[in-house]
Structure 1
Amino acid sequence: MGTFETLKSAGVRAGDEVVVPAYGNAEVAEAVVQLRAVPVFADVDADSYCVDPAAVSDVVTSRTAAVVAVHRFGRRANEAWIREIGQRHGLLVVVEEEPGADPEGVERRREHASYLDGRLSGVRTPGPAVGHTYERYVVRVPGNGRPDRDAFVRAVRAKGVMCRVPVQAPAYRMPGLRRDVFLPHTERAVDETLALPAHAGLSRRELHKVVGACNALGGLLQPAF
C-alpha cells in the first residue's frame, strides 16, 4: 500500500497536517497534497539522512494528523523514537522503505562499503550503523557547498566512474510543494552528498577504480564559478 492509500485509509483529511521528510523522494509530500492535506517538512538527521525525530517533534501542532518516515540509502529511520512521538501526540506513524530498495546482495554491498571506507580520502564516508544495507553508498564532499561537490562529480565521471547526486533539491523546493522554509541539515546534505558505485555486482577492480578516481583529486576541489 502506498503513502496515499495508507494515509487515506487512516482517515487523514483535507486540512490535516502530515509531517514528511524534507530530504529525499518528493512522492511522499505529493501524496499528502493529493489528499488536500498539508505537508509539513522536517529536517534530516545529518548522519542517517532520514527524518530527524527531534525535528519532527519541533513541527508537530494541534493540526498534525500523521508522520511519515522513510528509510534512506539502506539506513533505518529512528522508528522507535518517531513512534514514541506519535504515541505522545496521538498521531498516525507511517514508516516506509525507500523506493527501489533491493533485499538481495546485502552482504556483498557491505563488503564493498567496508573496502571503500578504508581507502577513500578527500570525502566523508558513511558513518557506521547497525543494519546498514548500503542500498546506495553515499559520501559527502564537504567544502563551500554545491560547487565543490559538482566539480568533484565532473572530475570523477571524467575518469569513467558513474557516480550520481542522490537528491537534487529539498522537497520543499519542488514544483507544487514550495514552502518558505530553510532546513540547514537538509540543505547541506543536498549540496554535499554523492552516491558512489558499490552495488553487489561490482568487481574488486571496479572498486579500485572508484577509489583511484576519487583519491587522485587530492582532496577537495576549488569552487567552480
Structure 2
Amino acid sequence: MLRAAGVGRGDEVVVPAFGNVEVAGAVVLAGAQPVFADVDPLTYCLDPDAVEAVVTARTAAVVVVHRFGRPAEVGRLREAGRRHGVLVLEQGESETPHDEIAQRRERAAFLDGRLRGVRTPDGGVGHTYQQYVVRVPGNGRSDRDAFARALRSRAIECRAPVRTPSHRLPEFRQCVALPETERAVDETLALPVDASLTKRDMQHIVAACNALGGLMRVAS
C-alpha cells in the first residue's frame, strides 16, 4: 500500500508502537522512516491527537491499525489527514466468520458483567473481540505477570498481548515519549473468549480473576 501510494525515501509515516512490528517494518522496506505516535488507553489504537502532534512537513502517511478486534477512530484520523494533506491507510485484522464473532461477543459480555478487580475492555461499535484484553491493577508489569502466572496455575490460558513496544526494539529504537503505550504494555492481559469455552470454563475464569483482583486491590 505504501509503495502504491508513492511513499518512499525521505518520507515519514506515522505508526503505532503498541505491537504491529510488521507495520514499522513495511515502512522501512518502502524506504521511509517510521514515526511512532501514542495510543488511546481505551482502544489501544492510534490516538488522533497524538498523531497530529508528530506530523511534520515530511509526513506522507499514517497507518491506522485496528487492535484486538476494536476499530480505531478512523473518522477523526481521516479528518486530521485531510487537514495536514496526509494519506491515511488502514491495516485491518483477519476476517472471522460471523458465528464465531457472535460467540466471542457473547463470552465477552459474560466477562464484562462479572469481572471485578480488572478493567474490562472498552467495547466500542463493531468490536469483534479477536482478543479480550483487560488491564490488571497494581504496579505495572510485575503485578500483571504475577497475575498471569496465578491464572495459568489454575489452568487458564492468558498472555501479555505485547511484550515490547516497537520503539524499544533495536531495529526501530527511538527516544520518544509514549506513556500510554508503555502503560498498556505493562498492564494488559488477554483472557480467553474462544468459542470452545463452556459456561463452566467462563465461570472458572471469572472466579479466578475476581479472587486475584480483589487481593491486588487491597495490596495496591
TM range (shorter): over 0.9
Secondary structure in structure 2 of the residue aligned to 1:107: helix
From the superposition, tell whether residues 96 and 127 of structure 1 become closer, same or farther in structure 2 (CA, over 3 Å): same
Match of 1:106 in 2: 101
Deviation of the 1:90 alpha carbon: 1.4
1:62 aligns to 2:57 (yes or no): yes
Match of 1:15 in 2: 10
Q: Any runs of at least 4 consecutive aligned residues in structure 1 with deviations exceeding 4 A, and if so which? A: none
Match of 2:184 in 1: 189
Could you tell me which runs of 5 or more consecutive residues in structure 2 were left unpaired when the two chains were aligned.
none
Match of 2:145 in 1: 150
- The equivalences for 1:120-199 within 5 A come to 120-199=115-194
CA contact (8 A) 1:123 1:219 kept: no
C-alpha RMSD of matched pairs (Å): 1.5
Taking structure 2 as the reference length, what is the TM-score of the superposition? Answer: 0.94
Match of 2:216 in 1: 220
Secondary structure in structure 2 of the residue aligned to 1:68: strand
Could you tell me which runs of 5 or more consecutive residues in structure 1 were left unpaired when the two chains were aligned.
1-5
Deviation of the 1:74 alpha carbon: 1.1
Deviation of the 1:208 alpha carbon: 1.2
Deviation digits for residues 33-90 of structure 1 (CA, Å, limit 9, x no counterpart): 1122110001000100001111101000000000001111111111111111111111
From the superposition, tell whether residues 187 and 101 of structure 1 become closer, same or farther in structure 2 (CA, over 3 Å): farther
Query: Alignment identity in percent?
Result: 60
1:29 aligns to 2:7 (yes or no): no
Opposite residue 201 of structure 2, the aligned amino acid is: E
CA contact (8 A) 2:159 2:191 kept: yes
Secondary structure in structure 1 of the residue aligned to 2:36: strand
CA contact (8 A) 2:70 2:123 kept: no
